[in-house]
């Protein structure tokens, strides 16, 4: 089925929601749901009708045809699965979940959607693991990232590593960035001494204080 634009997917989703709620979609209902002007909705309806998704009598109701129903169902399932994940798994607010879902849903591939849906189902069917995950998320959000990750001070001499993140406060990050330590860069750890670590990258040697190395997250 040919993909339509993100904007038209939003309109189609709104029509589909009204449809499954037992309501006959009208221009004003769709505009209210999407918080847009009626003129914008009218233009979108014309384009959806032209694409073969809906039928619309002038000044009348809007009906989903077979093609529109199938496409709308697919968009809707992506949307509610994302909301379910954000609200019930990640404990985000409904407002934040709605805003995120409305943007992400348009870029979900079939494989991504299947994996996300399966993961949500698995977590719901395994409440003990879900409880452990929620506790871990709470703990992680209250600690600095480096507490739970592999850091530069743990790396053995001769290993090649990639910088994933820099933990700590703003000043600490700024200090390390000035030294040439930033996420995405690949380095080799030449020496791991008691007070410092010697790194090598792109023909350049970098010396890092051992205490600072605790804040550099690597993989």
Structural domains of the chain in order of their starting residue, each with its CATH number: 1-142 (1.10.10.10), 147-218 (2.30.30.90)
Coil, helix or strand for 200? strand
Q: Give the pLDDT score at 24.
A: 83
Among the residue ranges 73-77, 101-105, 126-130, the one predicted with the least confidence is 101-105
Among the residue ranges 75-89, 134-148, 149-163, 187-201, the one predicted with the least confidence is 134-148
Q: What percent of the chain has pLDDT over 70?
A: 99
Q: Is pLDDT above 90 for 169?
A: no
Q: What count of residues does the chain have? A: 219
Q: For residues 37 and 17, what is the distance between their CA atoms, to the nearest angstrom?
A: 19
**pLDDT tens figures, 151-163:** 998 999 999 999 9
Helix-, strand-, coil-residue percentages of the chain, each rounded to 5: 55, 15, 25
Q: For residues 132 and 127, what is the distance between their CA atoms, to the nearest angstrom?
A: 9
**What is the pLDDT confidence band of residue 8, given thresholds at 50, 70 and 90?**
very high
pTM of the model: 0.72
Read off the tokens for 150: 């592999």
Q: Give the pLDDT score at 114.
A: 94
Q: Is pLDDT above 70 for 41?
A: yes
Q: Is pLDDT above 70 for 217?
A: yes
Q: Give the pLDDT score at 1.
A: 62
């Amino acid at each position: 089925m040919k993909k339509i634009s993100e904007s038209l997917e939003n309109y189609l989703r709104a029509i589909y929601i009204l449809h499954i709620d037992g309501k006959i979609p009208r221009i004003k209902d769709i505009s209210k749901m999407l918080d847009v002007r009626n003129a914008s909705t009218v233009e979108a309806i014309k384009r959806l009708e032209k694409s073969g998704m809906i039928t619309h009598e002038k000044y009348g109701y809007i009906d989903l045809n077979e093609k529109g129903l199938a496409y709308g169902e697919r968009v809707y399932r992506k949307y509610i699965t994302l909301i379910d994940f954000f609200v019930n798994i990640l404990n985000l607010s409904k407002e934040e979940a709605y805003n995120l879902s409305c943007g992400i849903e348009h870029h979900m591939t079939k494989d991504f959607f299947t994996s996300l849906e399966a993961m949500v189902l698995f977590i719901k069917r395994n409440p003990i693991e879900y409880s452990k995950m929620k506790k871990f998320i709470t703990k992680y959000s209250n600690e600095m990232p480096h507490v739970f990750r592999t850091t530069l001070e743990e790396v053995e001499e001769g290993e090649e590593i990639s910088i994933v993140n820099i933990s700590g406060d703003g000043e600490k990050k700024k200090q390390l960035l000035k030294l040439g330590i930033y996420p995405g860069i690949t380095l080799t750890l030449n020496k791991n001494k008691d007070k410092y670590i010697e790194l090598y990258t792109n023909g350049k040697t970098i010396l890092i204080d051992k205490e600072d190395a605790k804040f550099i997250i690597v993989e």
